[in-house]
Structure 1
């Protein structure tokens, strides 16, 4: 799904690592997948990248789609070494997302849905509010680009607007594109804007490093 974005990024001079999270592609299986586990897998990938001799550890950026996008925002909220984050089609709150899912399958919140949501929080070891993008966005200090399809019926574009509205500074951009939930192809057609965002974020990171070295 993410391959359409690899070529324009590579052509612009960026090294690109694409990896499969657990339970995806050829990666190891696990008992279940979750937003926190997506984030853990991303952190391991970033830690590995930072140790590579031909990688500048101060210029790492993360890009994710859907749950992967929410995971990228979660990772960025708890580490300060990222230069930028791009989120494509992230939901604002996993609880709201799951409640929509239950409603679509005609499962009433009372008395059945609420215990299900409580069990899921217990199973993943995190409260939904602690990992919700609409809350983690406030803890992120690096530049963030939020991309969302205007015709997304799985995660409505209003959720991207909600995340954007909860930002803590002017380092967050919002880009609403034509397209549905799987809008990587549409994002590819707007690759120039993504690359411009990354270029500016890297320049900002370089300036910060220069100031620190000067001190």
Structure 2
């Protein structure tokens, strides 16, 4: 075979490899879609809700405060927490947050992001989709009868928390944001997803991100602007200064998204920018099982939403490290 023939063979191999990488990129950008049961397993009143984001229909549940709480009194406007799940999850899987919230007097609005649960799917899900979906959920909640439009907070797990912080930078108006087990960097979430799908990180962790951006029509400028330390430096802080209180929680036992991301974030932010809590539960979706989680979350919400403090017993003494940075 002559030189020209070998060049053709080389070109074909390059094209085939590029097609394979593209296919892997597409596969990695399609989250698993877990359906929900017909009804949430809760001991309070609830209703199904539908709303739209980006032209797609999203499904959710609205849970009312537990009977006997001050917020459940007739005529009272109710504070609300929007709960945003992470990549490959759904609203059923974040029901684990619901009971302490509605027992403390909050309404809880949880929903399936696009391409998740029972919501409609799109071609190329991304962190920016999570951003837009949580913004749509907040605006939907703000218009619900009986809900106090000036007392809304967001609790986001994993990529749901990442999307919530991106939403702050786009002007989402809430009283507080809480993140749990959130990746701080795009590289962290990419490597975690490749690991979950048993796809080798090298060299794909460098080749796949551009595919995601192209398919989701995200520009390099938008990608660079999605910088969590910069967003927090600009948007997070004390409400009296016109900023949004942010509490970031991570478990030292998280084997999917390492708590090291949050530790490194601490070094990049001015003191007092955010509240931070490390707990000791095992896994990526178990932080709320530690009493210290709720001993911090409920008072943080009450203070941020300017609500009367109410002491609630959450169990044993916490084994956690709380930091304010």
Query: Above 0.5 in TM-score?
Result: yes
CA shift at 1:3, angstroms?
1.1
Structure 2 match to 1:31: 123
Structure 2 match to 1:176: 278
| Number of equivalenced pairs | 202
Please, what TM-score do these two structures have when normalized by structure 2? 0.56
Alignment of 1:156 with 2:270, yes or no, is no
Structure 1 match to 2:301: 198
Task: Give 3-state SS (helix, strand or coil) of 1:119's partner.
Answer: helix
CA shift at 1:79, angstroms?
1.7
The answer as to whether partners of 2:124 and 2:212 remain within 8 angstroms in 1 is no
Structure 2 match to 1:146: 248
Q: C-alpha distance in 2, partners of 1:41/1:187?
A: 29
Task: Give 3-state SS (helix, strand or coil) of 2:177's partner.
Answer: strand
Any unmatched runs of 5+ in structure 2?
1-92, 236-242, 308-325
Q: Would the alpha carbon gap of residues 106 and 40 (structure 1) be closer, same or farther in structure 2, given more than 3 Å must change?
A: same
CA shift at 1:195, angstroms?
0.4
Q: 1:136 aligns with which of 214, 217, 231?
A: 231
Q: Would the alpha carbon gap of residues 78 and 163 (structure 1) be closer, same or farther in structure 2, given more than 3 Å must change?
A: farther
Alignment of 1:57 with 2:142, yes or no, is no
Q: Would the alpha carbon gap of residues 15 and 169 (structure 1) be closer, same or farther in structure 2, given more than 3 Å must change?
A: farther
Q: Larger deviation: 40-49 or 137-146?
A: 137-146
Deviation sequence 1:99-155 (CA, Å, 0-9, x none)? 46558733433xx54332222223331444322433322232200110101011211
Task: Give 3-state SS (helix, strand or coil) of 1:18's partner.
Answer: strand
Q: C-alpha distance in 2, partners of 1:113/1:190?
A: 33
Structure 2 match to 1:211: none
CA shift at 1:182, angstroms?
1.1
Task: Give 3-state SS (helix, strand or coil) of 1:138's partner.
Answer: helix
Q: Would the alpha carbon gap of residues 105 and 24 (structure 1) be closer, same or farther in structure 2, given more than 3 Å must change?
A: closer
Task: Give 3-state SS (helix, strand or coil) of 2:111's partner.
Answer: coil
Higher strand share: 2
Q: 1:108 aligns with which of 192, 195, 202?
A: 202
Please, what TM-score do these two structures have when normalized by structure 1? 0.83
Matches within 5 A, 1:55-134: 55-79=147-171, 81-99=173-191, 105-109=199-203, 113-124=205-216, 125-127=218-220, 128-134=223-229
- Looking at CA atoms only, which structure, 1 or 2, has the larger radius of gyration? 2
The answer as to whether partners of 1:94 and 1:132 remain within 8 angstroms in 2 is no
Any unmatched runs of 5+ in structure 1?
205-215
The answer as to whether partners of 1:93 and 1:129 remain within 8 angstroms in 2 is no
Q: C-alpha distance in 1, partners of 2:201/2:172?
A: 41
CA shift at 1:11, angstroms?
1.1
Q: C-alpha distance in 2, partners of 1:16/1:199?
A: 14
CA shift at 1:77, angstroms?
2.3
Q: C-alpha distance in 2, partners of 1:101/1:22?
A: 18
